[in-house]
Copies of this chain bind each other. A is one copy, B any other.
Amino acid sequence: MSMKIAILGLLQEKDMHPYEITLIMKERMYDQMMKLQMGSLYYAVDKLAQEEYIEAVETIRSNDRPDKTIYRITGKGKALFEQLILQQIKKVELVFHPLYMALALSRYIDQDKVEKVLEERIREIEHQVNYAYQVYEEHISVVPRSALHLMYGRYEHSLTELKWLKRLYADVTARKLNDFGTPLSL
């Protein structure tokens, strides 16, 4: 879904070939917010082309590079784009990473080991938090506000996660994960 939205969005700026789309997505750090896999991108492009949301404009042949097929968005494609965006905003999805599941079930295994990897993980997230904030600051005068929101959101979410992990870590070291009846210390 995000893949289709990204493709249709970028093709509204200019006609492109799939590989070029990936380059721009990386440039704008879309790859930080969604899974960008070449296979899926080409699949989505084919799908969109089949149903005429986009169409091939020309194919550039070259003897030392693979052919490039340049696509353009159609009127039908623009309509789909709007529909997908609105639909995506409406739809309430529960997004929770696998990490949360893993930690919920970690009480079945050796707590010393959990403690150790959790420490490493916390250190990593601390870096992520700092990095995300830095990215935000550095882009203030460089990108439109829509992109700024994205960057600041990234920062806030990692901060939330960090706080959560630290609280959990305190309970792991105290071997309290299996305790009952007391509220968390917040």
Contact = CB atoms under 8 A, between A and B. Distances in A.
B160 A104 contact: no
A121 B102 contact: no
Contacts of A66: none
Contacts of A57: none
Contacts of A103: 89, 146, 149-150
Contact of A101 (B12, B30, B101, B180): B30
Interface stretch (A15-23, A48-56, A92-100): A92-100
A96 B160 contact: no
Given A152-B184, A156-B164, 19 more contacts: A2-B101, A5-B98, A9-B105, A33-B94, A85-B105, A85-B106, A88-B98, A89-B117, A89-B118, A89-B121, A91-B99, A92-B125, A103-B146, A103-B149, A140-B182, A145-B180, A145-B184, A148-B183, A157-B160
